[in-house]
Amino acid sequence: MLIRHATAEDGAACAAIYRPYVTDTVITFEDVPPTAPEMAERISAANRAHAWLVAEDGGDVVGYAYGGTWKSRAAYRFACEVSIYLATGRRRTGAGRALYDELFAVLAGRGFVIAVAGMTLPNDASVGLHRAVGFEDVGTHRAVGWKHDAWHDVAWAQRRIA
């Protein structure tokens, strides 16, 4: 498996991975899946100030992870929010850990110290991955998101990356 920096050309592959999370789950609170050009712009924006990485297996993009602004105020400038999405069937293959390990190294190299992650509950796979790579639970926002005709909690976790 190859972990590399994403480019705008990865927009279609990342959009395809993300689509079922948007349409079929509450893992993300987006309602409309982004198009390939929209995802390409997200990749470009993330790479300007943070990072967006993809995992390739056999030439196919099988997952991605990225960092972004956690809060806009200056006091938070050393913290970033991270997210990870894997293609269907790619859980428990090492792809998530490999993506996060490389992402944390890149973000630390860019001066970030703390990574935060939000996870819609229940989501045992995401909670398990985040704990496995060193995140610690810091709290839960109760019934903060409305999707698929129900309220959902979001758990927050953080870890030091530098």
Q: Which structural domain, as residue segments, surrounds residue 24?
A: 2-160
Predicted local distance difference test score (pLDDT) of residue 13: 98
Whole-number Å distance between alpha carbons of 47 and 104: 14
Predicted local distance difference test score (pLDDT) of residue 89: 83
Predicted local distance difference test score (pLDDT) of residue 93: 80
Predicted local distance difference test score (pLDDT) of residue 124: 94
Sequence-distant (6+) residues with CB within 8 A of 161 are 104, 107, 108, 112, 113, 114, 115
Predicted local distance difference test score (pLDDT) of residue 90: 80
Cβ-contact 67, 51 below 8 angstroms: yes
How confident is the chain (162 residues) per 10-residue block, as mean pLDDT? 97 98 97 98 97 96 97 97 93 89 98 98 95 98 97 98 94
What's the structural domain count of the chain? 1
Is the bond into 122 cis (omega within 30 degrees of 0)? yes
Cβ-contact 34, 58 below 8 angstroms: no
CATH of the domain at 12: 3.40.630.30
